[in-house]
């Protein structure tokens, strides 16, 4: 979400960002258009880091129930007003510590609309708010077939907080990993240790993460993150900046996990 959100929200009034996200997001994250490759129809899904809801809205069409986790208060209200009735919105930051609060950081002049808020403070962040700290395991979810996770550098804590869910339901996961935000190896190692294997959508084809230099790719294509919105919308698939990794239980491959 980060790269698209920052581009859109910096160019449109806040009230239009949600509509733009739903309409344009698949241009920036084509994985959203490939749900049939990894998200079982009729299963339950979890959208961690809902923002304005492009993933939640698409998942609601395919899944029986969707739980959307979003920490930013005014985005939570927007999601509750606009998402379909089979989506439950939970306010909180996904961590490995149920209960209490977590500090969510924002850039100067941003209240969460740009999609670059994070529990991990970086040089772009200037102010913070306290938000509820939750774990996915504390939500007592069942029958989860897919989890999408976009938490801007806090992936390890969020995954640790979902250990029981991952062991019990063995869902597919799509996790945004960006080396420019911090090391990505810890999250990959955690999921590999739990019997998951990674895949990336490169040039419209799923390839194993083990044979794809994601860090090197992101270093070569990071300039795309800073390009004007419309120019980035028409970058060929083979040249795009990839920051989403699909993790499937070992033995499963994209396109054979869901009908």
pLDDT of residue 7: 56
116 vs 176, residue with greater confidence:
176
Domain count, the chain: 1
Band of residue 19 on the pLDDT scale cut at 50, 70, 90: low
> What average pLDDT does range 121-148 have in this prediction?
93
Band of residue 18 on the pLDDT scale cut at 50, 70, 90: low
Q: List the domain range (segments joined by +) for residue 32.
A: 2-95+137-249
What digits encode the pLDDT tens for the residues 60-91?
A: 999 999 999 999 999 999 999 999 999 999 99
- Is the pLDDT assigned to residue 111 strictly greater than 90? no
Position 104 in a domain: no
d(Cα 162, Cα 136) in Å, to the nearest integer? 5
> What average pLDDT does range 5-16 have in this prediction?
56
Gap between the terminal Cα atoms of the chain? 26
For residues 73 and 242, the answer to whether their CB atoms sit within 8 Å is no
pLDDT of residue 6: 56
Position 123 in a domain: no
> What average pLDDT does range 46-55 have in this prediction?
94
Position 46 in a domain: yes
Q: Which of 1, 75, 53, 3 is nearest to 224 (CA)?
A: 3
> What average pLDDT does range 98-109 have in this prediction?
88
pLDDT of residue 259: 47
Position 33 in a domain: yes
> What average pLDDT does range 220-234 have in this prediction?
72
pLDDT of residue 57: 94
Position 112 in a domain: no
Alpha helix ranges (H) inside 63-145:
73-82
Position 122 in a domain: no
The DSSP code for 203 is: T
220: left (phi over 0), alpha (psi -120 to 50) or beta: alpha
The CATH number for 219's domain is: 3.40.50.150
- Tokens for 161? 């907080």
d(Cα 34, Cα 254) in Å, to the nearest integer? 9
- Lowest mean per-residue pLDDT among 13-17, 125-129, 138-142, 184-188: 13-17
pTM of the model: 0.89
**Range ranked top by mean pLDDT from 92-106, 116-130, 135-149, 223-237:** 135-149
d(Cα 157, Cα 55) in Å, to the nearest integer? 22
Position 232 in a domain: yes
Strands laid side by side in the 144-149 sheet: 87-91, 65-70, 44-48, 144-149, 172-176, 244-249, 196-202, 205-208
Neighbour-count burial for 15-24, b at 16+ CB within 10 Å, e otherwise? eebbebbbeb
Position 101 in a domain: no
pLDDT of residue 229: 56
pLDDT of residue 191: 98
Neighbours of 206 (CB within 10 A): 18
Average pLDDT in the chain: 88
- Is the pLDDT assigned to residue 9 strictly greater than 60? no
DSSP structure string for 235-257? --GGGSPP-EEEEEETT--TTSS
d(Cα 169, Cα 4) in Å, to the nearest integer? 31
């Amino acid at each position: 979400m980060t790269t698209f959100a920052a581009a859109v929200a910096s160019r449109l009034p806040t009230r239009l960002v949600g509509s733009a996200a739903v309409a344009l997001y698949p241009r920036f994250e084509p994985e959203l258009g490939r749900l049939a490759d990894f998200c079982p129809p009729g299963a339950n899904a979890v959208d961690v880091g809902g923002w304005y809801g492009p993933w939640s809205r698409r998942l609601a069409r395919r899944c029986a129930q969707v739980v959307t986790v979003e920490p930013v208060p005014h985005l939570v209200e927007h999601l509750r007003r606009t998402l379909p009735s089979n989506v439950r919105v939970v306010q909180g930051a996904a961590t490995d510590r149920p209960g209490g609060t977590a500090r969510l950081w924002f850039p100067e002049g941003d209240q969460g609309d740009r999609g670059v808020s994070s529990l991990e403070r970086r040089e772009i962040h200037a102010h913070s708010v306290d938000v509820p700290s939750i774990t996915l395991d504390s939500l007592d979810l069942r029958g989860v077939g897919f989890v999408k996770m976009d938490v801007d550098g806090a992936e390890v804590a969020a995954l640790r907080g979902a250990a029981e869910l991952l062991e019990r339901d063995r869902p597919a996961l799509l996790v945004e990993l960006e080396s420019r935000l911090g090391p990505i190896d810890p999250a990959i190692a955690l999921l590999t240790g739990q019997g998951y294997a990674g895949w990336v959508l490169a040039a419209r084809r799923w390839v194993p993460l083990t044979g794809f230099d994601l860090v090197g790719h992101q270093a070569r294509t990071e300039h795309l993150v800073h390009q004007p919105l419309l120019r980035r919308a028409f970058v060929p698939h083979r040249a795009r900046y990839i920051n989403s990794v699909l993790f499937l239980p070992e033995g499963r491959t994209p396109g054979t996990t869901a009908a």
